[in-house]
Amino acid sequence: MREERECSIDAFNAHAVNNNIPLSVLFELTYRCNLNCGHCYQVDRGSEELCFSEVTGIIDQLAAENCLFLTLSGGEVFVREDFFDIARYALKKGFALKVFSNGTLIDESVAHELACLHPLEVGVSIYGADAATHDQFTGMPGSFHRSVNALKQLKHQGVLTVVKCLLMKENIIQIGGIKALAKEVGAILQFDPIVVPKIDGNRDPLQHELTDTDLHRFFSLEIAEPNPAKEPNPRLSQPIICRAGRDLCCISPRGDIYPCMAFPITLGNLRKQSFAEIWRGVEAEKLRKLTPSDLHECVSCPDLNYCTRCWGLAAVESGDLLGPSQINCRIARIRHRISVERAGNKIEMR
Amino acid sequence: MNKVKGKDVMLSKYLLRSDSTAYRTIDGIALIVGAPEGKLRSLNEAGTFIWEKANGRHTLSEIVHQMCQKYDVDYTQAAQDAEIFVHELESEDMLVLIDDPVDSEEAQ
């Protein structure tokens, strides 16, 4: 009765991508946050956030569209007093839930309530191995201890936790300490080496971004194989080069649908149209028709096979969806260099 | 040996999808994800039929009878396959076998 092979996540996703099934949706429930991180990509885009009945109405629509993985995020989700009402509603509608939080509002009681939702994971942002470093980023004294306590409480409740750490020039030297911390609290660790501009193009967060030397060190030490791509780079050799707007999307606190959280192009607004209308609408279809041949420069780039180009990042950085992404270019160049170094050759850093 | 312990007992039990699983049926195939490991399962048509009936209000025997009517298959063989299938999902905490039916309001 069961298929002979287990369904891999890759096969699962491929079916959704090929059929534009929004299998994974990131729902940003609020822009409000109790922290004030200078590197945050979010900006409050004005107007009133969706109320409970609007959120549940959208959840109903997502269920009808066969969305299975629903990530509830913010801002900080726990500043919404109706968070658990929303989450329980989603659970009743058959979603597999993930929650992203800064953890500062998760105490023993909240952790217990979260555990009752059977989330696939709860991701907690950690920006350093110690309070001094972390709290400097968040602007809230005590936030490190509260976030670490949240991870411990969640673990105690049997919840799978993920330490989500954005690497910046101020915390890159603490990689070892952050690893030890994640191990201590029993969490999976995810490093993200890419600081992005704010979604409106404001480049202030980039003051924290890693230098080329830092990136080289990170990809040399942390990534066993800096060149996972086979020739030709599968991300740029197929009509479908990104899952954004195909099997995943992001919904903002105001009801805007974005292809993904990093993609600054609105497909439509759920206060004006249904999800189905937007998902099958002109803007979404236009996005899905883009192919590598539409790109201005990337296809002839010597670092192409090392690139994990992000359409959204390109658009946020330069306003040009079809142009190169500076940070992706830098990383591709560094990965290329590492690959050549490992092969015993040398290549000049451009 | 395709044999399940206590299989006669199993047929009289009510099937209930575990609280910790989520699923969608897409193009007749149920895709199940179990928390907290995020384990994924895809079921074939017959497995999907059983899974969708597992709302705590039908015994396995009833579900197998319904399946036989729908697919015109032999009960004995279908029951044996169904027991193996249910046993597997039960051992992975995706299905629960219960003695009494759940209230209709509670049924998923």
Q: B100: distance to nearest CA of chain A, Å?
A: 22
* Residue B52 in contact with partner chain A when CB distance is under 8 A: no
Residue B3 pLDDT level (bands cut at 50, 70, 90)? very low
Q: Tell whether the model's pLDDT for residue A349 goes beyond 50.
A: no
Cα–Cα separations (whole angstroms), residue B65 to A110, A265, B10, B28, B60: 44, 52, 14, 20, 9
Spatial separation of the C-alpha atoms in residues A133 and A17, rounded to whole Å? 40
Q: Which candidate from B20, B82, B84 shows the least CB-CB separation from A118?
A: B20
Mean pLDDT of A255-282: 94
Selecting from A2, A11, A118 the residue whose C-beta is nearest the C-beta of B35 gives: A118
The whole-number average pLDDT for the span A2-29 is: 75
Annotated domain spans of chain B: 10-17+44-98
Spatial separation of the C-alpha atoms in residues A86 and A73, rounded to whole Å? 12
What's residue A221's pLDDT?
Answer: 81
pLDDT of residue B106: 55
| Most confident segment among A229-243, A333-347, B65-79 | B65-79
Size of interface A-B (CB pairs under 8 A): 72
% of chain A beyond a pLDDT of 70: 89
User: Is A1 in contact with B44 (Cβ distance < 8 A)?
Assistant: yes
Asked if A96 and B20 come within 8 Å (Cβ–Cβ), the reply is no
**Out of A188-197, B26-35, B42-51, which region has the weakest mean confidence (pLDDT)?**
B26-35
- Does position A119 have pLDDT exceeding 70, yes or no? yes
Provide the angle, in degrees to the nearest 10, between the axes of the packed helices A143-156 and A131-138.
Answer: 110
Q: Is the pLDDT of residue A56 over 90?
A: yes
With contacts defined as CB-CB under 8 Å, which chain A residues touch B43? 1-3
Closest to B35 (Cβ–Cβ): which among A67, A68, A96? A96
* Cβ atoms within 10 Å, residue A108: 14
Is the pLDDT score of B12 beyond 90? yes
CA distance A200 to chain B (A): 34
- Give the predicted TM-score (pTM) of the model: 0.89
Q: In B, residues 32-51, which contact A (CB 8 Å cutoff)?
A: 33, 35-38, 40-44, 46-47, 50
Across all residues in chain B, what is the average pLDDT? 87
The mean pLDDT of B41-63, rounded to a whole number, is: 94
Closest CA to A55 of A95, A85, A86, A79: A86
The 10s digit of each residue's pLDDT in A289-304 is 888 888 888 888 899 8
Does the CB of A1 have a partner CB in chain B at under 8 Å? yes
Q: Does B90 touch chain A (CB under 8 A)?
A: no
Question: Which residue in chain B is spatially nearest to A188 when comparing CA positions?
Answer: B37
The mean pLDDT of A65-75, rounded to a whole number, is 96
Cα separation, A298 vs B105, in Å, equals 56
Contact of A40 with A205, CB cutoff 8 Å:
yes
- Give the pLDDT confidence of A209-260 residue by residue, as tens digits: 999 999 999 988 876 555 544 444 555 555 556 889 999 999 999 999 999 9
Position A346 confidence tier, pLDDT thresholds 50, 70, 90: low
Tell whether the model's pLDDT for residue A163 goes beyond 70.
yes
Measure the CA–CA gap between A247 and A21, rounded to whole angstroms: 5
